[in-house]
């Protein structure tokens, strides 16, 4: 991320907050966070602010285009420009397949798919007019999931949205390649986040993995920075599976 500005959507907690924190050590010049929780978004930018970087944050419900674009523009003004967008915002509902309601389907799609789409559109409109660094004007990284490729009980609606994120990534990559914008996704397996630890199913995740453990969020962050950072000058439309051997593709 050296000398690049980063915006993390859904950066108030979990992997998103870690990315905002780690960006300081990665040499980012500016860090922004959008989250439905404005206080969490502000807190996630504190390490970058303490390090003297330009920072910006915004509270937004990304289910609507208006709110998404307003939040993007608010952070963009604070940072000057946005070189890399990372979409982490998602909900992870669990319910038996035959019991999922219309409202639950709509909620999953609205945040995990439509919200990701809105933020990508805002980023592309900005990046198309940015000055290129080499051949690249901007980078977008979406967080998908191994659940897009492997079925699990009680999360059909979540898995479907993450498969949609993979497809959306490829569609955007194809359409904006000529603008010098690289679009990729990273598909994690189970991560040892605070929520996972609190939920009590971390042992189950570890037992299902050939490496015998869940991934540390930092291990996923490294791949996000690779796809969204200056070392990536050619890869686009790819979904990077980081599963510790949980699935092979």
Please give the Cα distance from 59 to 71 (Å, whole number). Answer: 7
Of 92, 117, 158, 248, the active-site residue reads: 158
Residue 165 domain flag: yes
List Cβ neighbours of 67 (8 Å cut-off, separation of 6 or more): 60, 61
Q: What is the pLDDT of residue 38?
A: 96
Tell me: the pLDDT tens digits for 195-204?
Answer: 777 777 777 7
Residue 16 domain flag: yes
- Assessment of whether the complete model's pTM goes beyond 0.75: yes
Residue 249 domain flag: no
Residue 248 domain flag: no
Between 152 and 67, name the one with better pLDDT. Answer: 67
Residue 196 domain flag: yes
Q: What is the pLDDT of residue 204?
A: 78
Overall average pLDDT of the 62-70 stretch: 97
Q: What is the pLDDT of residue 209?
A: 87
Q: Which of 123-132, 157-166, 186-195 has the lowest mean pLDDT?
A: 186-195
Q: What is the pLDDT of residue 208?
A: 84
Tell me: the pLDDT tens digits for 199-220?
Answer: 777 777 788 888 888 889 999 9
Overall average pLDDT of the 15-27 stretch: 96
Q: Give me the chain's average pLDDT, please.
A: 93
Q: What is the pLDDT of residue 82?
A: 97
Residue 229 domain flag: yes
Domain count, the chain: 1
Q: Is 92 marked active-site?
A: no
Q: What is the pLDDT of residue 151?
A: 86
| One-character DSSP codes across 16-28 | HHHHHHHHHHTT-
Q: What is the pLDDT of residue 144?
A: 96
Residue 146 domain flag: yes
C-beta of residue 158 within 8 angstroms of C-beta of residue 139: no
Tell me: the pLDDT tens digits for 103-129?
Answer: 999 999 999 999 999 999 999 999 999
Q: What is the pLDDT of residue 214?
A: 86
Going 199 to 204 to 206 to 209, the CA torsion angle's sign is negative
Overall average pLDDT of the 223-249 stretch: 94
Q: Where are the alpha helices (DSSP H) in 81-151?
A: 102-109, 116-127
Residue 247 domain flag: no
Q: Which two tokens stand for residue 240?
A: 């990077």
Q: Which domain holds residue 179?
A: 5-242
Report which of 48, 71, 35, 34 is spatially closest to residue 1, judged by C-alpha positions: 48
Overall average pLDDT of the 156-175 stretch: 96
Q: CATH number, domain at 214?
A: 3.40.50.720
Going 219 to 8 to 140 to 25, the CA torsion angle's sign is negative
């Amino acid at each position: 991320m050296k000398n690049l500005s980063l915006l993390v959507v859904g950066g108030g907690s979990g992997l998103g907050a870690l990315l905002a924190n780690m960006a300081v050590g990665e040499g980012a010049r500016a860090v922004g966070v959008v989250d439905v929780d404005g206080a969490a978004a502000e807190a996630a930018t504190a390490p970058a602010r303490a390090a003297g970087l330009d920072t910006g944050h915004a509270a937004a419900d990304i289910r609507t285009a208006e709110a998404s674009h307003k939040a993007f523009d608010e952070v963009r003004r604070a940072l000057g420009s946005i070189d890399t967008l990372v979409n982490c915002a998602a909900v992870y509902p669990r319910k038996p397949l035959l019991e999922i309601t219309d409202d639950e389907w709509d909620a999953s799609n609205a945040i995990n798919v439509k919200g990701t789409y809105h933020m990508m559109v805002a980023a592309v409109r900005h990046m198309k007019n940015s000055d290129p660094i080499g051949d690249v004007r901007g980078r977008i990284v979406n967080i998908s999931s191994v659940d897009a490729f492997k079925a699990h009980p009680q999360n059909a609606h979540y898995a479907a949205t993450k498969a949609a994120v993979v497809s959306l990534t490829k569609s955007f990559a194809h359409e904006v390649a000529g603008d010098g914008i690289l679009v990729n996704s990273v598909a994690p397996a189970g991560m040892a986040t605070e929520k996972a630890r609190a939920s009590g199913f971390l042992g189950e995740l570890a037992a299902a993995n050939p490496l015998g453990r869940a991934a540390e969020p930092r291990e996923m962050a490294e791949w996000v920075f690779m796809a969204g950072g200056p070392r990536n000058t050619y890869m686009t439309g790819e979904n990077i599976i980081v599963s510790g051997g949980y699935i092979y593709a």
